[in-house]
């Protein structure tokens, strides 16, 4: 059973790294990079634009062409009442830095222990709380106009001056996910809303936000609303640390050793087993094979049955999502033929389909990994003759 778990973990790591090179840092995609991101810049929080908006901190995203780029912090309307934002974070995976996507849910889960500021000190969130269907802001760390927004309180918290932007590796934050935080990730939650996705794309297309151009001090560090890079924008006061440019040949997807100056330890490249070629990333939902469950073998018939049901349920849900996306893409192909799209329109459509497909496949890979971790056998006690896994 342990060997099977190890093999599945290795296969998952390879799939993640192979797909990430093609889909780089799109919102909703876990990617890996061979060198760590710059330090978090120092900036002020814009004033909350309206009651009910929640703060989502800025972070360094990655593009295989332009490298790291800053996604400004911004105020966002949550997808539903009672939901809070768990920020995404970069974490050392043993061979590369992997970005773990943020999500909305009833509780704030693990975000690498990264001190993003403004209530996100590394654990939980102290910038506000839901009270009776309304969000109350802690004015000690949240910048709100109290003459307009009255549902506020003021609770002093300890503010740590730490701008490390990644978890693990040399120089990274040494925080580990707790059982409670892991349970929060298993709750019903949703990914970034459409406004956040557009915000990321806006940042990606802005050359001034590339770390290679601003050296860790982005001219747009935060915005009052998603995508508002002009009227409500705030510039960074300073970089959070000394900026060291990555090697000229550095790329993402774990293909290059991390650069020690940016806080990484040397890594190794992930390769396919037995020297086989990497499987090409899917371009359409129709290219994805149906998900199948793996028969568990824990030695306990009741546990095996329970685990099998969990795997079957997940596989059925994922296959339904594949089918839905496939139908949507086929419909768009029919519309393109009917409307006689030109070459540029066809290319844009195909690029969109490729992005949609790879995002969905990596989402499913993450779901499978989480289920695998929950079903993995418990580690031996430290004093029981075995080593913790």
Q: How far apart are CA 183 and CA 296, in angstroms?
A: 22
Encode burial over 331-340: b for 16+ CB neighbours within 10 A, e otherwise: eebeeeeeee
The domain limits of the chain are 31-262, 285-375
Q: What is the pLDDT along the chain (389 residues), one digit of tens a residue?
A: 444 444 444 444 444 443 333 333 333 445 778 889 999 999 999 999 999 999 999 999 998 888 999 999 999 999 999 999 999 999 998 888 999 999 999 999 999 999 999 999 999 999 999 999 999 999 999 999 999 999 999 999 988 788 999 999 889 999 999 999 999 988 989 999 999 999 999 999 999 999 999 999 999 999 999 999 987 799 999 999 999 887 665 555 433 333 333 433 333 333 333 333 334 456 677 777 777 777 777 778 888 788 888 888 888 888 888 878 888 888 888 887 888 887 777 777 877 787 788 778 778 877 877 777 777 765 444 444 433 33
Q: Is 117 left (phi over 0), alpha (psi -120 to 50) or beta?
A: left
Q: How far apart are CA 377 and CA 373, in angstroms?
A: 9
Q: How far apart are CA 206 and CA 223, in angstroms?
A: 14
pLDDT at 49: 95
Q: How far apart are CA 326 and CA 318, in angstroms?
A: 12
Q: How far is CA 116 from the centre of its chain?
A: 15
Cβ-contact 200, 99 below 8 angstroms: no
pLDDT at 274: 34
Query: What's the sign of the alpha-carbon dihedral 342, 344, 345, 347?
Result: positive
CA atoms within 13 A on the CB side of 377: 16
Contacts 24+ apart (CB under 8 A), 141-146: 141/117, 142/45, 142/48, 142/55, 142/118, 143/44, 143/45, 143/46, 143/47, 143/48, 143/118, 144/47, 144/48, 145/47, 145/48
Task: Kindly report the length of the chain.
Answer: 389
pLDDT at 209: 97
Question: Which DSSP letter does residue 214 get?
Answer: H
**3-class state of residue 190 by DSSP:** strand
Q: How far apart are CA 196 and CA 202, in angstroms?
A: 10
Q: How many CB atoms lie within 10 A of CB 49?
A: 17
pLDDT at 248: 60
Q: How many CB atoms lie within 10 A of CB 345?
A: 12
Contacts 24+ apart (CB under 8 A), 338-343: none
pLDDT at 4: 42
Q: Which of 174, 173, 221 is nearest to 60 (CA)?
A: 221
Q: How far apart are CA 190 and CA 194, in angstroms?
A: 11
Cβ-contact 359, 191 below 8 angstroms: no
């Amino acid at each position: 059973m342990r060997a099977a778990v190890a093999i599945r973990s290795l296969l998952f790591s390879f799939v993640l790294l192979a797909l990430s090179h093609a889909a780089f840092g799109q919102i909703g995609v876990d990617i890996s990079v061979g060198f760590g991101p710059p330090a978090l810049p120092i900036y002020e929080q814009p004033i909350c634009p309206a009651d009910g908006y929640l703060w989502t901190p800025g972070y360094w995203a990655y593009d295989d062409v332009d490298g790291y780029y800053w996604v400004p912090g911004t105020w966002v309307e949550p997808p539903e009442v009672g939901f809070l934002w768990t920020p995404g974070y970069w974490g050392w995976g043993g061979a590369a830095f992997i970005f773990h996507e943020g999500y909305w849910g009833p509780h704030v889960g693990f975000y690498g222990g990264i001190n993003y500021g403004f209530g996100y000190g590394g654990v939980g969130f102290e910038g506000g709380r839901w009270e009776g269907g309304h969000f109350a802001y802690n004015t000690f760390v949240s910048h709100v106009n109290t003459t307009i927004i009255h549902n506020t309180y003021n609770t002093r918290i300890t503010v740590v001056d730490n701008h490390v932007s990644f978890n693990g590796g040399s120089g990274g934050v040494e925080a580990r996910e707790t059982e409670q935080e892991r349970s929060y990730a298993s709750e019903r939650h949703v990914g970034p809303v459409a406004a956040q996705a557009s915000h990321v794309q806006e940042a990606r297309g802005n050359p001034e936000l590339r770390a290679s151009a601003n050296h860790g001090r982005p001219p747009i560090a935060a915005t009052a609303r998603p995508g508002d890079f002009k009227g409500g924008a705030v510039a960074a006061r300073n970089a959070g640390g000394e900026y060291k440019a990555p090697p000229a040949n550095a790329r993402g997807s774990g293909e290059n050793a991390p650069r020690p100056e940016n806080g990484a330890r040397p890594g190794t490249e992930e390769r396919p087993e037995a020297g086989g070629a990497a499987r090409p990333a899917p371009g359409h939902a129709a290219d994805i094979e149906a998900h199948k469950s793996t028969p568990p073998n824990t030695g306990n018939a009741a546990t095996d049955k329970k685990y099998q049901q969990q795997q079957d349920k997940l596989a059925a849900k994922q296959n339904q999502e594949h089918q839905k996306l496939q139908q949507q893409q086929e419909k768009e192909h029919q519309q393109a033929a009917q409307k006689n799209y030109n070459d540029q329109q066809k290319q844009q459509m195909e690029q969109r389909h490729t992005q949609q497909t790879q995002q969905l496949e990596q989402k499913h890979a993450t779901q499978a990994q989480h289920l695998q971790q929950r079903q993995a056998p418990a580690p031996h006690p430290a004093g029981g003759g075995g080593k913790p896994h």
